[in-house]
Amino acid sequence: MMGDPNVLEMVQEEGLTSNKDMEYSFEVHEEVSSRETSFLISEETAFQRDEQSKDSIFFRDGIRQIDFVLSYVEDAKKDVDIKAERRREFERNLRKSGLELEIEDKRDSENGKTYFVKIHAPWEVLVTYAEVLGIKMPIKENDTPRTQHTPLNYMLGPVKLPDTVKYPHPEYFTAQFTRHRQELFLIEDEATFFPSSSRNRIVYYILSRCPFGIEDGKKKFGIERLLTSNTYSSAYPLHDGQYWKPSEHCLNERYILYKHWARFSFFYKEQPLELIRNYFGEKIGIYFVFLGFYTEMLFFAAVVGLACFIYGLFSMEGNQSSTEICDPNIGGQIIMCPLCDKMCDFWRLNTTCLASKFSHLFDNESTVFFAIFMGIWVTLFLEFWKQRQARLEYEWDLVDFEEEQQQLQLRPEFEAMCKHRKINPVTKEIEPHMPLHARIPWYMLSGATVTLWMALVLSSMVSVIVYRLSLFATFATFMESEDSLQHVKSFFTPQLATSLTGSCLNFIVIMILNFFYEKISAWITKMEIPRTYQEYESSLTLKMFLFQFVNYYSSCFYVAFFKGKLVGYPGKYTYMFNKWRSEECDPGGCLVELTTQLTIIMVGRQVFGNINEAIYPLAFNWWRRRKARTNSEKLYSRWEQDHDLESFGNLGLFYEYLETVIQFGFVTLFVASFPLAPLLALINNIVEIRVDAWKLTTQYRRPVAAKAHSIGVWQDILHAMAVLSVATNAFIVSFTSDIIPRLVYYYAYSQNTTQRFSGYVNNSLSVFLIADFPNHSMPLDNNRDFTTCRYRDYRNPPDHEHKYAHSMQFWHVLAAKMTFIIVMEHIAFIVKFLLAWMIPDIPKDIVEKIKQEKLMTVKILHDFELNKLKENWVLNHNTYDKHVLMEESKAQLAKSTI
């Protein structure tokens, strides 16, 4: 096992052993428990804390840098001896691994209860594990000038950062570090050669694989297990210093990040991506690259969507359908059939005047154009992201990065739970193995849990539908009887009131279900005992995305594709559970309701998410500091300040990606119904970038650095959603929007040669004879002077031989809808594949640079080995000459003696 303490013993045999002080410290700690260790610091030799800066990130000697901190509180209630023994064994093995430890007594802590174990990785440990992890380090400065990505760079001056912030370090040619070739690398100072992100990554690698004893016949190891059992309360690397001021004696990258990145006043500025990568690691860095690139691409979609919205706004008054509905002589004379049984009365079409005008904002000629545009946009976004990712791999030296270096490593939990071993067919090494039959019960439980929760989501959606159906009659009756509401009836109709309250209720249910499922899915994934970190993340991603896809989008799919489609007709309505009549769409269609549903869920989720991300860590940290600051005269050290911050956690980045992908679904899947969705997403992401930057820089402990060369499985999910979005938008335009029926009327049924859309409203409404109403649906108020009412459908009139059957126009419209879907999908997919073929995944200039860098690296390595060979040859030759001379001298001396 790579993280075993015996790794350093091989190095020690080569002369890289730790000094005697470390050996003496190891012997001391082997004899006493971690509880007793803190009292070994005598009053005469103890370090005077008040002489050290509270922002110090060094041991007491002021030389050795603190790479990691462990903390614990002795709990006198339970398992105190077991935990103390675990800590003693763990710390002993850490020292055996070559790490240096320094313990801060609880008497010196702010709350008087917490011990802190400070960890330093000496040079021998760093060079050994840098080779184990395949970390690339600089061998020669790259003299190639940096590429300017845009020819309009001079116009973007206000959004650019200073070069010293954007490019904090020169570019280098790099090679995988090896301790046998240290002369090859640009080592100016051993203390600063490895950046702090690489140092904490190495230390965490050791911590995650260091054993702490044998319990129940199984070897126990890893800091995560000790954290789970509360043996240690936390484990974290230190921030560089305070975020609001520079450090006195060393570079404070945290302060630079806060100053140029985490402040909301810099919302229009580009991100210091190199600095983010250097400080937080590539895995977090690539998330911010993706979020920034996605936000940039949203700008173009937002501009086009806003233009479509403005077109609808300016053409609203001239819309023929709205004009006819609002006209007292047309819409005012059309009597519509009741919207519910008995309690609802007949109503006039012109009462939906404002609703029809509002519908035109999103349901107009530009809807088709925008749906097609977004199909092309999503393809360009994904193709250009592939190029950006390839460029990033080159710039961040991840071209040869292999996932198995980190993500494909065995999880300590898997190794600990496995009782079987088998030979790896690739490495020919014996590895832990868990048979399939041992996992099947957990897989079945996992599948059943996910299915159950998705069924729970669908049942909650049905409950909201029932709520809307049962409440609609109440709203209608109440608004009819209340004279004080007569003046708001023109815009606040029963349909709108029910839709708004139903959408808000649905949003609340979504957030509640989401909160509980997050906890359950994480637990279920752990119980599956995934073999590698990649398997764990993939399994959790699948569960969470499937659930959230159903949770967030099911109500939108219902409104878009099911509501108002199977309602029947007056006299023969369809009923849910034989009790509630199926919902009908507004005479202008269901697009307005889909827009309302989409807006409430999307905006509500974004606002709630940003407030939660900002307020939760702020309140948590305030409360934790309030509890901790009991001894104001004590020094509030750097490790204590970071200890009182919130932990980012192993899944912190996972939830950020999930949030972005769900938003991507709102922007693409239903964008034909709401062209302002990209604009809202753009505004949210501008805020999101700064909120994430602020909380990572100021409110969270520093995450352990990790490498990644892509966004992983999320890219496959984005591609799947992009393909699905083509189909959903085609169906929305066809079946939810009113554009296809209007076009069929315009070209096939209009009798007016000058105003082709004139008469469309009357044509789209069928006639029903009131006398044909069954008793259970006839309105209670029988005082009326009309014999027919109208309803939205294409059916034959009462005097037709096939009365109330679908008319020929219905089949013409249906054929036009299906034709549009087929044509739009084929055009979109042809354009998609054409663009994917035309745009290479890796830009040509990057391919050339990768080849050039590989050639230069091979040349540098070749020259180094050649020079080393020459030096050895000269040295050996000189040694041989000296040996010959000595032998000749001996021979002459012997002759002279004789």
String of b and e for 770-783 (b: at least 16 CB within 10 Å)? beebeeebbbeeee
Q: How many CA atoms lie within 13 A of 466 on its CB side?
A: 10
The residue with tokens 């009327």 is 745
> Regarding predicted confidence, which is higher, 34 or 137?
137
Three-class SS state of 260: helix
364-402 confidence digits (pLDDT tens):
888 889 999 999 999 999 999 999 999 999 888 887 766
488-523 confidence digits (pLDDT tens):
555 566 667 777 888 888 889 888 888 888 888 888
State what percent of residues in the chain have pLDDT above 90.
Answer: 28
pLDDT at 768: 93
Beta-carbon contacts of 485 under 8 Å, excluding residues fewer than 6 positions away, are: 478, 479, 492
CA distance 858 to 175: 9
pLDDT at 163: 84
Q: How many CA atoms lie within 13 A of 131 on its CB side?
A: 14
User: Quick one: angle between helices 253-260 and 273-280, nearest 10?
Assistant: 140
Q: pLDDT band for position 127 (50/70/90)?
A: very high
CA distance 454 to 626: 41
pLDDT at 335: 92
Q: pLDDT band for position 628 (50/70/90)?
A: low
pLDDT at 45: 37
422-443 confidence digits (pLDDT tens):
777 766 667 777 777 777 887 8
CA distance 572 to 667: 38
Three-class SS state of 791: strand
Average pLDDT over residues 267-294: 93
> Regarding predicted confidence, which is higher, 788 or 408?
788
Q: Are 803 and 369 in contact (CB under 8 A)?
A: no
282-323 confidence digits (pLDDT tens):
999 999 999 999 999 999 999 999 999 999 998 888 888 888
pLDDT at 242: 87
pLDDT at 897: 65
CA distance 761 to 349: 10
Counting runs of H as helices and runs of E as strands, what totals does the chain give? Answer: 28, 18
Q: pLDDT band for position 204 (50/70/90)?
A: very high
Q: pLDDT band for position 115 (50/70/90)?
A: very high
The residue with tokens 């079409």 is 349
Mean pLDDT score of the chain, rounded to an integer? Answer: 82
What spatial distance separates the first Cα and last Cα of the chain, rounded to whole Å? 66
678-712 confidence digits (pLDDT tens):
999 999 999 999 999 999 999 999 999 988 888 98
732-783 confidence digits (pLDDT tens):
999 888 889 999 999 999 888 888 888 899 999 999 999 888 888 888 777 7
pLDDT at 745: 93
The token pair at 836 is 């994917």
Of 136-140, 629-633, 831-835, the least confident: 629-633
CA distance 659 to 130: 34
Of 54-68, 351-365, 551-565, 864-878, the least confident: 864-878
pLDDT at 506: 85
Residue 218 has pLDDT above 80, yes or no: no
Q: Are 315 and 360 in contact (CB under 8 A)?
A: yes
pLDDT at 571: 84
Q: How many CA atoms lie within 13 A of 753 on its CB side?
A: 0
The torsion region of residue 428 among left (phi > 0), alpha (psi -120 to 50) and beta comes to left
The token pair at 747 is 């070209």
Q: Are 790 and 336 in contact (CB under 8 A)?
A: yes
CA distance 585 to 554: 18
CA distance 640 to 69: 10
pLDDT at 629: 57
CA distance 545 to 792: 37
Residue 559 has pLDDT above 70, yes or no: yes
Tell me phi and psi for residue 257, to 5 degrees.
-65, -45
CA distance 485 to 818: 43
CA distances from 573 to 134, 338, 589, 768 (A): 69, 12, 18, 13
CA distance 115 to 176: 37
pLDDT at 538: 83
